[in-house]
Structure 1
Amino acid sequence: MTTPRLPQRRRLLAAGAALCLAATVPTGALADTPAFPSKPITLILPFPAGGPTDAQMRALAIAAGKELGQSVVVMNQPGAGGTLGPATMSRTAAPDGHTIAIAANTLYRLPLLQKVNYDPLKDFTYIINLTGYTMGIAVRADAPWKTLDDLIKDARSRPGQISYGSTGVGSSGHIAMERLARATGTSFNYIPYKGGAEEAAALLGGHIDFISNAGWGAQVDAGKERLLAVYSDKRLKRRPDVPTLKELGHDLVITSPIGVVGPANMPPAVVARLHDALRKAMQDPTYQRLVEQWDQEHQYMSSEQYRGYAAEQMPKEKAFLDQLGLKLQ
């Protein structure tokens, strides 16, 4: 019998070593590294179509799809103050990155107000924070109140008779107005809605007197609504004539970040891939134009920063709710 030539023997030995190494690696480790994404990604938007977030996220989805090599499909799933969509995702979607959702501050405020079927810190993977809603108090252009002080004085004279809308119980706009009402000794009649488009229709139709929320930009630009004040720390670049609540003597600054979350236990490599694609998509001119059109600011947070923000925010929200006397129902 002839002996294999040396190069051939080396090739055989190398192949045998590779087979031995493969036998020692758990099969799950090899299976855990599939190509991502392998199919279109669903981005759940927990607000109705037609609002400011809808337009922004559709622009972002198109840009992110180009980065990922797969389409990103926006699916509207409103309800429960913007928590129904991400909560449902956390229970039903595989943690493979192909189903993700937009999250707002209500996601970790609502569990402090009522029983929910999710844990904001255990049931989600925090991927990236994108921007933040700019909250404000807006009335119809023909409303009798020219300033916030006019509105508050009127509310004091007939408590509970002036109505306002915001996106769901426990939303940032709701809590902000309740804090303002408590601080000024007034009370208002709160009516929750599913999203900004519904609130605008209700306000312009005369069903409510004002809104405490974001999403008033287009109506203010069109001269249909008047912005009395904003909850931001500084006056807005596009609206330098509108005062902040802080300027008006109310120590109240409200921010409401908007980010992207996925189900718990997503692979770190998938999280990083989504984060990087969305981070690049944030530079898309159409997306940036829509963010600025609605008077929002870019509020980027990395995955780690975003999760840290959520953890820190829960005790802060609890303190605000305790001040208002709002307890778990």
Structure 2
Amino acid sequence: MQTTFQRRRWLGLATVALAANAAPTWAQAQSFPNKSITLIVPFPAGGSTDRHMRLLAELAGKQLGQPVIVDNKPGAGGTLGPGTMARTAKPDGYTISQYPMSMLRMAHMQKTAWHPLTDFSYIIGVSGYTFGFTVRGDSPYKSFNDYIAAARKSPGAVDYGSTGAGTSPHLLMEELAENAKVKFNHVPFKGNADLQQALLGGHVSAQSDATGWDKYVDGGQMRLLLTFGEKRTQRWPEVPTAKELGYGVVSTSPYGIVGPKGMDPAVAQRLHDAFKKAMDDPRHAELMSQLNQDAWYRSGADYAQWAKEAFAKDKLLIERLGLMAK
């Protein structure tokens, strides 16, 4: 009887201790958020990613009852912002980041202070890009095959800019170059806005990028020679895809929102729900149409599983292109 009584007493104390430890976490989730949230955008202001994230931040902030403030942290092909967050931010939900696909590639290409799968809490998958290849409106390249012909004539001399080494706009062009058996001169930039100005200023002859160039193409300052989707776009149906021209490259580079590892699941779910409602807002659908992007919704769990599979798949691509870290 004494042994049974002592066992019950210790079980009761253990239950109280567990409840006490769980209480702060539950209380934190219930009160979240009680101040503004920072959303890191790892590209400069003014590009397509920035335009998208700023609207989502505004709409999600209304759902959360607190402002979501965009903090542009460009650099390292879109990995500087999320990488810094992983090392320095508390996993309390008040610092989150847009997560470009370059995060899943950079760790294969060089040594990083973070791991793209284990150092992040995946919150929600959001969208993917429409990538295109553009030149200035007065460029001598009237078609993408004109550009390829020039590259064949002068190997390594014909240049193009991208949003950074290891980003999708860079890797899809390197894959295309391998398939076409040509060599380009790659010029990396910090982000869309810098790249657009470099092309318009004549500092590079072409660019591979997402649809930050849309207004310049529509305005005649740039000419769109190629897109990289599975099929032609509705907005520019006269422009061929890399696939139909026989170059064998299709890319949309999905992205989403993450936090540091160790986030309270209830806080992550609160953020997920707010951003999901933001995605469902008609204003978001209107911007998606302007950017010629499709929604790519994934729950946190599905997004994490997709990232795991993409990380393994991209390792094979980077090995094939000879870009693996030594």
TM > 0.5: yes
Match of 1:159 among 155, 159, 176: 155
1:262 equivalent in alignment to 2:255: no
The question of 1:325 aligning with 2:322 is answered: yes
Residue of structure 2 in register with 1:216 after alignment? 213
Match of 1:83 in 2: 79
Give 1:290 deviation, angstroms. Answer: 2.1
User: Cα offset for 1:296?
Assistant: 1.2
Q: Which residue of 1 aligns with 2:24?
A: 31
Which range is displaced more, 161-170 or 51-60? 51-60
Match of 1:204 among 200, 207, 219: 200
Aligned length: 311
Structure 1 position 24, deviation (Å): 4.8
The one of 164, 169, 176 equivalent to 2:165 is 169
Tell me the residue number matched to 1:128: 124
Equivalent residue number for residue 3 of structure 2: none
Instruction: Please point out which of 226, 230, 235 is paired with 2:227.
Output: 230
Kept in 2: contact 1:128–1:275 (CA 8 A) = yes
Taking structure 1 as the reference length, what is the TM-score of the superposition? Answer: 0.91
Alpha carbons 1:130, 1:301 under 8 Å: kept: yes
Identity of aligned residues (%): 49
Q: Distance in 2 between matches of 1:254 and 1:22?
A: 52
Contact conserved, 1:106 with 1:172, CA < 8 A, in 2?
yes
Letter in 2 for 1:83: T
SS in 1 for 2:207: strand
8 Å Cα contact 1:60-1:284 kept in structure 2: no
1:63-102 aligned within 5 A: 63-102=59-98
Aligned match of 1:304: 301
1:257 deviates by 1.0
Alignment match, 1:291? 288
- For residues 15-72 of structure 1, the C-alpha deviation after alignment (integer angstroms, 9 at most, x for no partner) is xxxx989845442210111211121111011011111211221111111011011111
- Cα distance in 1 for partners of 2:233, 2:315 equals 28
Q: 1:135 to 1:61 in 2, by over 3 A?
A: same
Contact map agreement 2:79 2:102 (CA 8 A) in 1? yes
Aligned partner of 1:55 in structure 2 is 51
Q: Which amino acid aligns with 2:168?
A: S
Could you say what secondary structure the match of 1:178 adopts?
A: helix
Segments of 5+ residues of structure 2 without an aligned counterpart are: 1-11
The C-alpha deviation readout for 1:182-212, integer Å capped at 9, x for no partner, is: 1111111111001111111000111001111
**Max Rg structure:** 1
d(CA) in 2 for partners of 1:53 and 1:213?
11
Residue 287 of structure 1, CA deviation:
2.7
Distance 2:254 2:296 in 1: 7
- Deviation by residue 1:116-164 (Cα, 9 ceiling, x = unmatched): 1100111000100111111111111111111111110111001111111
**C-alpha separation in 2, matches of 1:287 and 1:53:** 13
> Is 1:116 the equivalent of 2:109?
no
TM superposition shift of 1:291: 2.1
Aligned to 1:314: 311
Q: Deviations over 1:251-305 (max 9, x none)?
A: 1111211200000011111111111110000122333222221211111111111
- Given that 1:163 and 1:188 are in contact with CA atoms closer than 8 Å, whether structure 2 keeps it comes out as yes
1:278 matched to 2:275? The reply is yes
Residues 272/141 of structure 1: CA separation in 2 closer, same or farther (3 Å cut): same
Equivalent position of 1:7 in the other structure:
none
Q: Tell me, in whole angstroms, the C-alpha distance in 2 between the residues paired with 1:316 and 1:258.
A: 16
Aligned to 1:133, the other structure's residue is in SS state: coil
Indicate how the Cα distance of structure 1 residues 21 and 78 shifts in structure 2: closer, same or farther if over 3 A, else same. same
Contact 2:179–2:248, Cα closer than 8 Å, also in 1: no
Question: For 1:306 and 1:21, how far apart are their aligned partners in 2?
Answer: 36
- The one-letter code of the counterpart of 1:311 is K
Q: Is the 8 A contact 1:216 1:294 kept in 2?
A: no
Q: How does 1:34-45 map to 2 (within 5 A)?
A: 34=28, 35-45=31-41
> SS at the partner of 1:168?
coil
